[in-house]
Amino acid sequence: MNARLNNSLLCLYLLIILGFIFSPIIASFIFSFNADRFPSLPLGEFSVKWYEAVNEDADVWAGFYRTLTVGVSVAMVSTFLGFCAAYTDYRYSFTGKSVYLALALLPPTVPLIIMGLAMLFFLSRVDLSGGTHSVIISHVVMCTPFAMALIRLRLSQMDPDLESAAWNLGASQWGAMRFVIFPFCLPAIVSSLLITMAVSFDEFAVAWFVSGLNETLPVRILSFLQGQVSPRINAIGSVVFMLSMMLVIAANIILMRNSSKKTTEE
Amino acid sequence: MSESLVEFRNVSKHFDDYTAVDNLNLSIEQGEFIALMGSSGCGKTTSLRMLAGFEEPSEGEVLLRGKCINHLKSYQRNTPLVWQTLALFPFLSVVENVEFGLRMQKVAKPERRKRALKWLDNLAIAEFAERRVDQLSGGQRQRVALARTLVTEPEILLLDEPLSALDSNMVVHMQGVLTELQRELGITFIYVTHSQSEAFAMADRVVIMNEGRVQQIGSPKDLYQRPNNHFVAGFVGKNNILGGQYKSEHNGIWVLAGNDGDYKIKASEAEPADRSAATDFAISADRVFVSRTVNSDFDNQFLCRLKGEEFVGSAVVLYLETESGEQIISLVTQAQMEVLGDLKKGDYYAHWQSDHCHIIKP
């Protein structure tokens, strides 16, 4: 009886937490379909006019395409770099390896404002600031550690004899990489692509510093807010939220499907 | 001298200040089933890894068909290995696992599929060809691992404790499969194990290693009947190790002065021991008989008390102690036990033939 009570209290607690986290997003989602100019209760009539307004805004579309370009490029480059870093860690031991690992995993711990400022200073020094490529470079710096962490985790689940077994069966180092390491890491690589894309998609602070006139979507949203509080933001917010959630959920499904495979093996 | 298939010539392997293999000299012939046996850390696996190309010898040469292969990479050797962990590729199906070696040799797909299926068929696992590796039982996976190494038709197969993950019934079954396979194919098997029963059941020759050094090389029967040093005598089977000072020789029988009187042993015809030093000899526990009275058929007789007994299935191990406190073990069959009657009371005579004693080096 007591355990049951505990259990339901715990459930309640969980629900409150989830409500606390998601209510702003849900509110934004609901108000994006509200015809009223200002978000207030009771709700006005249902309307998709804010979505239409966003759809007609060329700046929003330009920002979206830019965000997409950045996201896809960042996903590919940082996953590649993350894979290389993780494989280096897996395969070799060398002096200063712990320093190498710490440095490789450091960027997410730097406050975004500092990171943005530093990136701006650095990129303008080398004459690379103010473009889409500046955002790509900065986001690669921020996303590579995520990619590395994911792929490192996968490599740590690999039977250490697997690569040697491939060599033993006549695979060269490249052959073993292509036919054994890569296929083994594939689930982690795919989820790394999705996660890094999601991180880049959402990232605002650093992009705001380095993007100059080439605003990404999150930066565009801020300029909306600065001019006027428009329900259009709710519409954009909902779309962006859906997109990045989809990426994260897809990544999780891929990872989970794989780990459940792993447990049936044991 | 005819050329050996594999030869280790003065091979040593050091890891930092630890010596894993110390001056190994070993020739392995075409078509031989040889087992490297010893407890963990004895250097058997390191020796195998040097042959497979995962470790480079610190000193000496490893030769394959008379050619030094020290600097060849693993993939340039064709010395396939069956791993202790099997190391099957989890993301490939059974048949794709078996095909792997052929795929690396760039054999065309229909051809390699055909050859892989033939091997799966040989090993009676063709029905699982399309399954994932993790859907198979331990014994089936074992067969996949074997098929995967044999598909490239190597002249030598390395096996690193391949049966250690199986339950005991399966081990015996797979021993049969391996011996039969080796005989059928006529290729050389080099089998690393810590298990005496596996090594002795399958191998033509067994190499016993300890602390990086070869202790003795011989057929299972040789090792069992004629251990040539303390380590082997203690490691193989159940041996009593006794010793004494040389006193005299008569018709090839040495008399040694021991703690309980004279031991009579047949001097080894192969290599005469140093008569001035104390001489140790081994007598196998199953050659030591026990009775109530002196039995003149045996030329060694010692009065003993029973200290304990241990039931080991078809036989009983008797732990005896002589008057001077020397421990003697005797392996007695159940039938002999019945003749002896109640063991708890009185004294016994342990006796054995001088023929069955064997001088060992310290």
Cβ–Cβ of B105/A180 closer than 8 Å? no
CATH code where residue B294 lies: 2.40.50.100
Cβ–Cβ of A261/B134 closer than 8 Å? yes
Can you name the residues that pair with B256 across neighbouring β-strands?
B246, B263
Based on the fold, state whether residues B11 and B101 are members of the same structural domain. yes
Cβ–Cβ of B85/A184 closer than 8 Å? no
Instruction: Quickly count: other Cβ atoms within 10 Å of residue B281's Cβ.
Output: 26
The model's pLDDT over B284-324, given as tens digits with 9 standing for 90+, comes to 888 888 888 888 888 888 888 888 888 887 888 888 888 88
Based on the fold, state whether residues B245 and B307 are members of the same structural domain. yes
Contact indicator for B82, B159 with CB cutoff of 8 Å: yes
Contact indicator for B330, B288 with CB cutoff of 8 Å: yes
Q: Between B91, B100, B134, which is nearest A169 by CB?
A: B100
Tell me if B71 is assigned to some domain.
Answer: yes
The model's pLDDT over A55-78, given as tens digits with 9 standing for 90+, comes to 887 887 888 888 889 999 999 999
Tell me if A151 is assigned to some domain.
Answer: yes
Chain B positions in Cβ-Cβ contact with residue A165 (cut-off 8 Å) = 81, 83, 87, 89
Based on the fold, state whether residues B109 and B87 are members of the same structural domain. yes
Can you name the residues that pair with B349 across neighbouring β-strands?
B291, B303
Cβ–Cβ of B104/A261 closer than 8 Å? no
**Most confident region among A44-53, A60-69, A181-190, B275-284 by mean pLDDT:** A181-190
Tell me if B231 is assigned to some domain.
Answer: no
Instruction: Quickly count: other Cβ atoms within 10 Å of residue B296's Cβ.
Output: 8
Angle, alpha carbons A235-A236-A239 (nearest 5°): 90
Confidence class of residue A264 from pLDDT cuts 50, 70 and 90?
Answer: very low
Cβ–Cβ of B134/A265 closer than 8 Å? yes
64-83 in chain B: CB under 8 A from chain A: 73-75, 78-81, 83
Chain A positions in Cβ-Cβ contact with residue B152 (cut-off 8 Å) = 169-170
Q: Please state, in angstroms and rounded to a whole number, the distance separating the CA atoms of residues B186 and B198.
A: 19
Which residue type does B262 have? D
- The yes-or-no verdict on residue A198 having pLDDT over 80 is yes
Cβ–Cβ of A168/B75 closer than 8 Å? yes
CATH code where residue B73 lies: 3.40.50.300
What's the mean pLDDT when you consider all of chain A?
85
Cβ–Cβ of B78/A171 closer than 8 Å? no
Based on the fold, state whether residues B205 and B302 are members of the same structural domain. no
Based on the fold, state whether residues B201 and B59 are members of the same structural domain. yes
Cβ–Cβ of A265/B87 closer than 8 Å? no
Angle, alpha carbons B330-B334-B335 (nearest 5°): 110
Q: What pLDDT sits at residue A126?
A: 85
Tell me if B230 is assigned to some domain.
Answer: no
Q: What pLDDT sits at residue A162?
A: 92
Element of type H or E holding B333: strand B327-333
How close B65 comes to chain A (CA, Å)? 18
How close B35 comes to chain A (CA, Å)? 20
Cβ–Cβ of B75/A161 closer than 8 Å? no
Chain B positions in Cβ-Cβ contact with residue A261 (cut-off 8 Å) = 134
In the listed set B225, B249, B268, which residue is the last one of a domain according to the structure? B225
Tell me if A49 is assigned to some domain.
Answer: no
Q: What pLDDT sits at residue A258?
A: 65
B54 touches chain A (CB under 8 A): yes
Cβ–Cβ of A168/B74 closer than 8 Å? yes
Q: In what order do the strands lie in the sheet with B205-210?
A: B81-82, B156-160, B188-193, B33-37, B205-210, B213-218
Task: Give the tokens for residue B65.
Answer: 């068909």
Cβ–Cβ of A172/B75 closer than 8 Å? yes
Task: Give the tokens for residue B288.
Answer: 């030591």
Q: What pLDDT sits at residue A263?
A: 45
- The yes-or-no verdict on residue A125 having pLDDT over 80 is yes
Contact indicator for A44, A246 with CB cutoff of 8 Å: no
Element of type H or E holding B359: strand B358-360
The model's pLDDT over A205-258, given as tens digits with 9 standing for 90+, comes to 888 888 877 778 878 777 777 777 777 788 888 888 888 888 888 888 877 776
Structure ipTM over 0.85, yes or no: no
Q: Please state, in angstroms and rounded to a whole number, the distance separating the CA atoms of residues B46 and B211.
A: 12
Residue showing tokens 């064997």: B358
- For residue B112, what are the contacts with CB-CB under 8 A and spacing of at least 6? B99, B102, B103
Tell me if B128 is assigned to some domain.
Answer: yes
Chain B: residue nearest A262 by CA?
Answer: B134
* DSSP state, residue B361: B
Tell me if A159 is assigned to some domain.
Answer: yes
Q: What pLDDT sits at residue A265?
A: 42
- Could you give the number of structural domains in chain A? 1
How many A/B residue pairs have CB atoms within 8 Å? 66
Chain B positions in Cβ-Cβ contact with residue A264 (cut-off 8 Å) = 134
What is the Cβ-side half-sphere exposure of residue B352, based on CA atoms within 13 angstroms?
27
Tell me if A19 is assigned to some domain.
Answer: no
Residue among A91, A93, A164, A168 with most chain B CBs within 10 A, to mutate: A168
Confidence class of residue A153 from pLDDT cuts 50, 70 and 90?
Answer: very high
Based on the fold, state whether residues B182 and B42 are members of the same structural domain. yes
Cβ–Cβ of B134/A186 closer than 8 Å? no
Mapping DSSP onto H, E and C, the string for chain A reads: CHHHHHHHHHHHHHHHHHHHHHHHHHHHHHHCCECCCCCCCCCCCECCHHHHHHHHCHHHHHHHHHHHHHHHHHHHHHHHHHHHHHHHHHHCCCCCHHHHHHHHHCHHHCCHHHHHHHHHHHHHHCCCCCCHHHHHHHHHHHHHHHHHHHHHHHHHCCCCHHHHHHHHCCCCHHHHHHHHHHHHHHHHHHHHHHHHHHHHHHCCHHHHHHCCCCCCHHHHHHHHHHHCCCCHHHHHHHHHHHHHHHHHHHHHHHHHHHHHHHHHHC
Cβ–Cβ of B134/A264 closer than 8 Å? yes
Based on the fold, state whether residues B43 and B170 are members of the same structural domain. yes
- The yes-or-no verdict on residue A84 having pLDDT over 50 is yes
Q: Nearest Cα to B326, choosing from B361, B360, B300, B294?
A: B300
Which residue type does A1 have? M
Task: Give the tokens for residue B281.
Answer: 């000899």
In the listed set B204, B225, B246, which residue is the last one of a domain according to the structure? B225
CATH code where residue A181 lies: 1.10.3720.10
If you count them, how many residues does chain A have?
266
How close A95 comes to chain B (CA, Å)? 16
B45 touches chain A (CB under 8 A): no
Q: Between B78, B85, B152, which is nearest A159 by CB?
A: B85
- The yes-or-no verdict on residue A266 having pLDDT over 60 is no
| Domain carrying residue A78 | 56-265
Q: Is the peptide bond before A42 cis (omega within 30 degrees of 0)?
A: yes
Pairing state of beta strands B261-266 and B315-322?
A: unpaired
Based on the fold, state whether residues B175 and B279 are members of the same structural domain. no
The model's pLDDT over B4-21, given as tens digits with 9 standing for 90+, comes to 889 999 999 998 888 899
Based on the fold, state whether residues B215 and B268 are members of the same structural domain. no
* DSSP of B274-315: PSSSEEEEEEEGGG-EEESS--TTSSEEEEEEEEEEEEETTE
Q: Please state, in angstroms and rounded to a whole number, the distance separating the CA atoms of residues B221 and B217.
A: 11
Q: Please state, in angstroms and rounded to a whole number, the distance separating the CA atoms of residues A138 and A114.
A: 12
- Could you give the number of structural domains in chain B? 2
| Domain carrying residue B345 | 237-360
Share of chain A above pLDDT 70, in %: 95
- Residue B13's region, left for phi above 0, alpha for psi from -120 to 50, else beta, is beta
Tell me if B295 is assigned to some domain.
Answer: yes
Element of type H or E holding B220: helix B220-225
Based on the fold, state whether residues B27 and B143 are members of the same structural domain. yes
Cβ–Cβ of B75/A162 closer than 8 Å? no
Based on the fold, state whether residues B189 and B85 are members of the same structural domain. yes
Residue among A154, A162, A169, A174 with most chain B CBs within 10 A, to mutate: A169
B346 touches chain A (CB under 8 A): no
- The yes-or-no verdict on residue A261 having pLDDT over 80 is no
Based on the fold, state whether residues B196 and B241 are members of the same structural domain. no
- For residue B271, what are the contacts with CB-CB under 8 A and spacing of at least 6? none
Q: What pLDDT sits at residue B237?
A: 78
Can you name the residues that pair with A34 across neighbouring β-strands?
A46
Tell me if B129 is assigned to some domain.
Answer: yes
Whole-angstrom CA distances from B334 to A187, B239, B311 are 61, 20, 9
φ, ψ of residue B21 to 5 degrees: the values are: -130, 130
Cβ–Cβ of A164/B74 closer than 8 Å? yes
Contact indicator for B142, B157 with CB cutoff of 8 Å: no
Full pLDDT tens readout for chain B, 362 residues: 467 889 999 999 998 888 899 989 999 998 899 999 988 888 899 999 999 989 889 999 999 888 888 888 888 888 999 998 889 999 899 999 999 999 998 899 999 999 999 999 988 888 888 888 888 888 889 899 999 999 988 999 999 998 887 888 888 888 998 999 899 888 999 999 988 888 998 999 999 999 888 999 999 988 888 888 888 888 887 888 888 888 888 877 888 888 888 888 887 655 556 677 778 888 888 888 888 888 888 888 888 888 888 888 788 888 888 888 888 888 888 888 877 776 666 788 888 888 888 888 76
Helices A58-91 and A217-227: crossing angle, nearest 10°? 140
Chain A positions in Cβ-Cβ contact with residue B54 (cut-off 8 Å) = 164, 167-168
If you count them, how many residues does chain B have?
362
